[in-house]
Amino acid sequence: MADTAHRTPRALDLKYQPGFTSVAMLCFFVLYAPIAVLVFFSFNANRSVTRWTEFSLDWYVRALANEGIQNAAVTSLEVAVFATVFATSIATAAALATTRVARYRGMTAAYTVINMPLMVPEIVTAVATLSFFALLRTTLGINFGLGNVMIAHTVFCIPFAYLPIRARLENMDLTLEQAAADLYATPWRTFRRVTLPLLVPGVIAGAMLAFIISLDDVIITMMVAGPGQTTLPIYILGQIRRGVTPEVNAVSTILLAVSILFVTLFFLLGRRRT
């Protein structure tokens, strides 16, 4: 940052164009004002989410004591952890198979197929997943319960985990692996000692993305989840149907805090590794 500022003449630097600061501020305002309002009213003593009376942590106490919320939080975490672990592993394998090998016929096709789900409207994926599990149940009598949700989440998280891992691999010098092979490392040991350690920041970024995407999902979960398999976003949605209370604000704020915590944690971890 400091470097580019030094090298770019002021006249060409976007930062010094007239109105730059106001436009930037407006963007930040639109992005964060609603969230700030939500967080603000979660500390309201009153039942209203629009009229402030005084500061209180009551809604947090009530939310944390609420068994429905507790169960939903546990379900969300179970699903997200499962989906993150499997989606990231599969995405890592896919990224290696589409970058670390000699070009083969169908490599571009493989790349496109892996990324396609990002382009498919989520409602389509949701309906398809629902039909798929319904078919499994009616024809084969298979129903994994919460496992259905976990599998569905794993699947739609794969392309999200794939992107940062692939980006990292593409920036990695292939001669490093050749050097390892040259120094008597078998392909497996080359992977363990050279490829994987250098890939870690990409894997962390991929896992982080998968985790947040899973934690946040509503549409697919709503279609696939059976009774009693309520995740946190689904629970919040249910509550809102009966009117927005500061309790919902409090739960949302907790969810937000967890997300920020994870992002920060992964970011710091990733930075230390590189």
Partner 1 sequence: MTKVFGGGTDVVRALDGVSLGIQENEFFTLLGPSGCGKTTLLRLIAGFEQPSGGEILLDGASLTHLPPFRRPVNTVFQSYALFPHMTVIDNIAFGLEMRGLSKTETADHVAEMLDLVKLSDLGKRKPGQLSGGQQQRVALARALANHPRVLLLDEPLSALDLKLRKEMQIELKRIHRDTGITFIFVTHDQGEALTMSDRIAVMNAGHVLQVGSPTEIYEHPTSHFVADFIGETNFLEGEVVARDGASAKVRLSSGVERQASAPKDAAAAGRVSLAIRPERVTLSQSRQTGALNGRVETMVYFGTDTNYHLRLEDGRAFMVRLQNHEGAQAPFATGDEVAVEIADHALQVLRD
CB neighbours (10 Å) of residue 261? 10
Nearer to partner 1, 48 or 186 (CB): 186
What the block records as the tokens of 156 is 């739609």
Minimum CB separation from partner 1 for residue 99, in Å? 17
Site for partner 1 in 210-239 (CB under 8 A): none
Q: Using the structure block, give the residue that is written with the tokens 């008597």.
A: 184
What the block records as the tokens of 250 is 């409090």
When asked if residue 175 is in the footprint of partner 1 (CB under 8 A), the reply is yes
Nearer to partner 1, 197 or 226 (CB): 197
Q: Give the Cα separation of 167 and 169 in Å (integer).
A: 5
One of 7, 30, 140, 184 touching partner 1 (CB under 8 A): 184
One of 34, 68, 145, 197 touching partner 1 (CB under 8 A): 197
CB neighbours (10 Å) of residue 235? 20
- Please, how many CA atoms are within 13 Å of residue 134, restricted to the half-sphere of its CB? 8
| Site pattern 124..163 for partner 1 (x: CB under 8 A) | ----------------------------------------
When asked if residue 165 is in the footprint of partner 1 (CB under 8 A), the reply is no
One of 194, 208, 251, 258 touching partner 1 (CB under 8 A): 194
How is the chain split among helix, strand and coil, in percent rounded to 5?
Answer: 80, 0, 20
List the Cα angle 66/218/162 in 5-degree steps.
120
Among 19-27, 147-155, 194-202, 211-219, which window interacts with partner 1 (CB under 8 A)?
A: 194-202
Minimum CB separation from partner 1 for residue 271, in Å? 14
One of 161, 180, 224, 234 touching partner 1 (CB under 8 A): 180
Minimum CB separation from partner 1 for residue 166, in Å? 19
Number of residues that bind partner 1 (CB under 8 A): 17
When asked if residue 91 is in the footprint of partner 1 (CB under 8 A), the reply is no
When asked if residue 96 is in the footprint of partner 1 (CB under 8 A), the reply is no
CA 12, 17, 21, 26 dihedral sign is negative
When asked if residue 183 is in the footprint of partner 1 (CB under 8 A), the reply is yes
When asked if residue 179 is in the footprint of partner 1 (CB under 8 A), the reply is yes
What the block records as the tokens of 26 is 């407006």
What the block records as the tokens of 82 is 């499962």
Q: Give the Cα separation of 152 and 231 in Å (integer).
A: 14
Instruction: Please give the C-alpha separations between residue 77 and each of 162, 179, 233, 254, 257, in angstroms, as whole numbers.
Output: 21, 41, 12, 13, 14
One of 15, 47, 137, 189 touching partner 1 (CB under 8 A): 189
DSSP one-letter code for 11 = G
When asked if residue 35 is in the footprint of partner 1 (CB under 8 A), the reply is no
The site for partner 1 (CB under 8 A) is made up of 173, 175-176, 178-186, 189, 193-194, 197-198
